Amino acid sequence: MEKILIVDDEEGMRLAMSEALKRAGYTTETCVDGISALSRLESEKYLMVITDMKMPKVTGMDLLKEIKKISPDTKVILVTAYGTVDCAVEAMKEGASDFLLKPFSFESLIQIVKGGFASSGKPSALFKSPTPQMNKNAGHEVKEIVTKDKIFLRILNMAVEIAKSDSTILVYGESGTGKELIAQLIHENSNRKSKPFVAVNCAAIPDNLLESELFGHEKGSFTGAAFRKHGKFELAQGGTILLDEIGEMTMTLQAKLLRVLQEFEIDRVGGKEPVPIDVRVISTTNVDIKQAVSEKKFREDLYYRLNVIPIRVPPLRDRKGDVEVLTEHFIKKMSVKNNKNIKGITKEAMDILLNRKWYGNVRELQNMMERAVLLSGQDKIRKEDFILEEIVEKRLSDNSEVNLSAETIDEMEKKLIERTLNDKGGNRTHAAKSLGISIRTLRNKLNEYKDRAVSCSAI
């Protein structure tokens, strides 16, 4: 019979978990803190330890690290509140089997314990959810999240769990990691899924228009206001509003947003009375909001209102196992989109992808595979189909004179080809060899630049 050690400084929680597991047929023992748990582990063998994250003296993280030294095969499940989710995810890297999010049902506890004993420590399945479809009530396309990364799978499963609440959520991470997809996933698993999902890019709308875009305006409230306009909050009534790149919002508008979150009502520009709203708010950012608060660029009170449940989306370089599965996904997707018959990718080409830095994350991989599919004349993607991007990245890492902040990858690629052709006296064969690409790829690129020039001159 599997023996489980439960460690929690709260007596009620400790005894309740013990009783629930005993009813499910498990043998349990309990400890009041990490110190007594470590003492017990030195003399007894446990197949699983369930420990609270926040405890005095020895935290759950400390206990996990020590358990892995004493008994590497012992499975550890961490119990955590919303505010310490990031710590729990970090603990997964230290060898934790899973984490249980407070508040939880005893059914969830039993399910996770069963899964812990049955799991080999590898992700159980590829997470592909939700399937692309059109939400007719909301009027938006729900896209796939594709991953097999163990840490990211836990984050996604956590997102599905917290979707059932109405708490505000802050999703943060680098550009291109899929923060909006996480927001959509939460909406589609919430009680609001039949209502609208409305996304607003706070960075893309001029400051003087953003207030009207969010809250609406009355007819005649300013020059050009020829009619009443309903803002995004009203359009999202009953559903979810996504405030994308919230860190770009001005301090003045932040104060108005704070009032909305406190009073559950909005004021249209030029309006005479507030309008009640029922909307779940999810925000995303790729900037460090805590630093922005310390620099007086973001309101601290608003930060805490938005950050009730924080979710960090890991960059692609931290989940390299996803490069292969995402590459396969994008090849299939782009082949259908461009009416091509690409069946896969060569090992040499995949090695290039696996060794890439991925500063632009999943979005960069998607764009790169779309270009490769368009360029490829074979049934598989070869390294020649995107070798130019690799050369550009290498030149940049070698402190090339090319200015990354001023130019796109396409512009740098064009300059690199032109420079190489000049160096080779215009000889395309020699230039292609020097670049490490086929003459066909070089010819396609030159034709692409020619067509682009013609198109621009016609504007």
Distance CA 361, CA 368 (A): 11
CA distance 113 to 110: 5
Fold of domain 318-385: Helicase, Ruva Protein; domain 3 (1.10.8)
CA gap 369, 337 in Å, rounded: 12
Instruction: Indicate the fold that domain 402-459 takes in CATH.
Output: Arc Repressor Mutant, subunit A (1.10.10)
Q: Is the pLDDT of residue 240 over 90?
A: yes
Average pLDDT over residues 179-204: 92
**Weakest-pLDDT range from 60-74, 78-92, 142-156, 184-198:** 78-92
Per-residue pLDDT at 167 exceeds 70: yes
Q: How many residues does the chain have?
A: 459
The DSSP code sequence of 248-302 is GS-HHHHHHHHHHHHHSEE--BT-SS-EE---EEEEEESS-HHHHHHTTSS-HHH
Among the four given CATH numbers 1.10.3720.10, 3.90.550.10, 3.40.50.2300, 3.40.50.1100, the one describing domain 3-118: 3.40.50.2300
Q: In this model, does residue 362 exceed pLDDT 70?
A: yes
- pTM here is 0.64
Give how far Cα 423 sits from Cα of 77, 417, 437, Å: 61, 10, 16
CATH fold match for the domains 133-312 and 318-385: no
Asked if 41 and 3 touch (Cβ cutoff 8 Å), the reply is no
8-state DSSP, 31: E
Q: What superfamily in CATH does domain 133-312 come from?
A: P-loop containing nucleotide triphosphate hydrolases (3.40.50.300)
Sign, Cα dihedral of 156, 162, 164, 165: negative
Residues 400-433 pLDDT 10s:
444 444 345 566 677 778 878 888 888 888 887 7
pLDDT of residue 128 exceeding 70: no
pLDDT digits (tens, 9 = 90+) for 256-294: 999 999 999 998 888 888 999 999 999 999 989 999 999
Strands 127-128 and 146-147: antiparallel
Domain boundaries, the chain: 3-118, 133-312, 318-385, 402-459
Q: Give the residue-averaged pLDDT of 7-30.
A: 91
Report pLDDT for 271.
Answer: 85
How far apart (Å, rounded) are the C-alpha atoms in residues 68 and 87?
17
What is the pLDDT at residue 388?
55
Q: At residue 326, does pLDDT exceed 80?
A: yes
